[in-house]
């Protein structure tokens, strides 16, 4: 750990100067308490750094929660081992791609599964209790439950160090969460402008606790967090079904973990109740199970939190980008991607060049930097990868 300023502690051994400067700026906001914790996977983000843990007193920065509210991971360990799987993995990948809409903006054609309808009924009641209609934010929000999205979101079949099979996926609150975030980021900008508040960056605009704007954001943000969690559960149900049909047998969920890494919640740190925004970080309080994915083609980790107080009981959420998407496309080729994905069943397309492992930080270095934040329980290696364009 390195103390960069009195209000900024960093666990990142790989830290670009632009990322450092952005974190310093966020940490300078007057309501940060006690300090901002920068995770090992830190990289530039909207307004504030992805891979940062931001405790705020009496205020919240919507852009510091992120635009994919509630984005996170879910993993299920099955009773199967690698030697019990069929040899041809392509049918499983294609079945998952048929069962779960992928790509940016993708949606289901209709709601046709009972478990989907039950989750949608719950979310509808919760939205009513929160006093808003999600359809006014995103018309097709119902049809996006159970969809993956694109970018670094993925579905994987993996095996651990004992060759046990885990089903693993990464996604968030889809279009409705993004729309909620963008709406309240703009509200925060407008309120700060109208009050003559001089911000170091417009995406550090904040909402003050005790105001109607703050309460509206918290209510809708919490709803989006739950949407994201249920979206992952919905997709996992579909993945389990496709996997079960592929192996021609039932799946026992011997362990299941579902955790956010873009969210905020009230917590107590260093004697103060704060709003703790984890923008690209997981809760790593002592004994808490968590998931840290690598990039496409690399290892992911099942971890247990160590409860590091200085890190605000937090840990990294993944590898973190080393090259922008455009830079990665200029630097790497489809043949480079193929070389990185040897032995993994995936959709071979130019669309994923910007997701090549070399576009990300070395996940082994990230995990080494996180050694005092989490204990590694399992290391997962991909055998099937599903992504959206």
Condensed to tens digits (0 to 9), the pLDDT of residues 331-345 reads: 999 999 999 999 999
Indicate the pTM of the whole model: 0.96
pLDDT for 270 equals 96
Task: Give the three-class secondary structure for 98.
Answer: helix
Report, as an integer, the average pLDDT of 212-238.
Answer: 98
| 122-152: burial string, b at 16+ Cβ within 10 Å, e else | ebeebbeebeeebeebbeebbbbbbbbbbbb
Task: Give dist(CA 126, CA 133) in Å, integer.
Answer: 10
* Residue 311 or residue 389, greater confidence: 311
pLDDT for 159 equals 98
pLDDT for 187 equals 98
Give 313's pLDDT tier (boundaries 50, 70, 90). very high
Closest CA to 345 of 165, 171, 147, 158: 158
Report, as an integer, the average pLDDT of 125-133.
Answer: 96
Tell me the per-residue pLDDT of 26-60, one tens digit each, with 9 for 90 and over: 999 999 999 999 999 999 998 899 999 999 999 99
Tell me the per-residue pLDDT of 352-385, one tens digit each, with 9 for 90 and over: 999 999 999 999 999 999 999 999 999 999 999 9
- pLDDT at 320 > cutoff 90: no
Residues 6+ positions from 335 with CB-CB distance below 8 Å: none
- pLDDT at 142 > cutoff 90: yes
Task: Give the three-class secondary structure for 257.
Answer: strand
Which CATH code is given to the segment(s) 2-387? 3.90.1860.10
pLDDT for 228 equals 98
Report, as an integer, the average pLDDT of 133-148.
Answer: 96
Tell me the per-residue pLDDT of 279-308, one tens digit each, with 9 for 90 and over: 999 999 999 999 999 988 899 999 999 999
Give 105's pLDDT tier (boundaries 50, 70, 90). confident
- pLDDT at 112 > cutoff 90: no
pLDDT for 86 equals 97
Residue 233: its H or E element = helix 212-247
Q: Confirm whether 317 is a catalytic residue.
A: yes
Give the tokens for residue 264. 């905020």
> What's the distance, Cα to Cα, between the start and end of the chain in Å?
37
Give 151's pLDDT tier (boundaries 50, 70, 90). confident
Task: Give dist(CA 282, CA 73) in Å, integer.
Answer: 10
Closest CA to 72 of 281, 331, 271: 281
Q: Give, in order, the Cα–Cα distances in Å from 197 to each of 33, 46, 201, 275.
A: 20, 19, 11, 21
Q: To 5 degrees, how large is the angle CA 129–CA 134–CA 137?
A: 140
Report, as an integer, the average pLDDT of 118-137.
Answer: 96
The residue annotated as part of the active site, out of 226, 261, 269, 317, is 317
- pLDDT at 16 > cutoff 90: yes
- pLDDT at 322 > cutoff 90: no
């Amino acid at each position: 750990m390195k103390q960069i300023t009195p209000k900024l502690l960093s666990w990142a051994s790989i830290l670009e100067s632009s990322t450092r400067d952005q974190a310093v700026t966020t940490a300078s906001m007057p309501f940060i308490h006690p300090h901002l914790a920068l995770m090992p996977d830190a990289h530039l983000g909207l307004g504030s750094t992805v891979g940062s843990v931001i405790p705020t007193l009496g205020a919240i920065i919507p852009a510091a929660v992120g635009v994919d509210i509630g984005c996170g991971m879910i993993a299920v360990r099955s009773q199967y081992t690698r030697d019990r799987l069929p040899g041809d993995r392509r049918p499983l990948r294609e079945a998952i791609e048929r069962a779960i809409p992928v790509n940016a903006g993708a949606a289901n054609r209709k709601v046709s599964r009972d478990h989907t309808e039950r989750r949608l009924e719950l979310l509808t009641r919760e939205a009513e209790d929160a006093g808003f209609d999600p359809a006014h934010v995103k018309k097709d929000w119902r049809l996006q439950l159970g969809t993956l999205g694109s970018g670094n979101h993925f579905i994987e079949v993996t095996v651990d160090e004992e060759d046990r099979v885990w089903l693993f996926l990464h996604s968030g609150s889809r279009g409705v969460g993004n729309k909620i975030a963008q709406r309240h980021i703009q509200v925060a900008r407008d309120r700060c402008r109208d009050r003559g508040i001089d911000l170091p960056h417009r995406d550090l605009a904040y909402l003050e606790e005790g105001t109607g704007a703050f309460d509206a954001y918290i209510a809708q943000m919490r709803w989006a967090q739950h949407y994201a969690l249920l979206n992952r559960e919905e997709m996992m149900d579909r993945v389990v079904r496709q996997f079960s049909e592929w192996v021609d047998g039932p799946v026992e969920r011997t362990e299941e973990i579902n955790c956010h890494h873009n969210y905020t919640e009230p917590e107590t740190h260093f004697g103060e109740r704060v709003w703790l925004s984890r923008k690209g970080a997981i809760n790593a309080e002592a004994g808490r199970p968590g998931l840290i994915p690598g990039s496409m083609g690399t290892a992911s980790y099942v971890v247990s939190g160590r409860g590091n107080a200085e890190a605000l009981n937090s840990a990294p959420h993944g590898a973190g980008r080393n090259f922008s998407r455009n830079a990665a496309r200029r630097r790497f080729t489809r043949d480079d991607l193929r070389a990185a994905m040897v032995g993994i069943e995936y959709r071979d397309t130019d669309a994923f060049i910007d997701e090549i492992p070399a576009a990300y930080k070395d996940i082994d270095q990230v995990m080494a930097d996180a050694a005092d934040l989490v204990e590694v329980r399992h290391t997962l290696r991909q055998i099937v990868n599903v992504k959206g364009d």
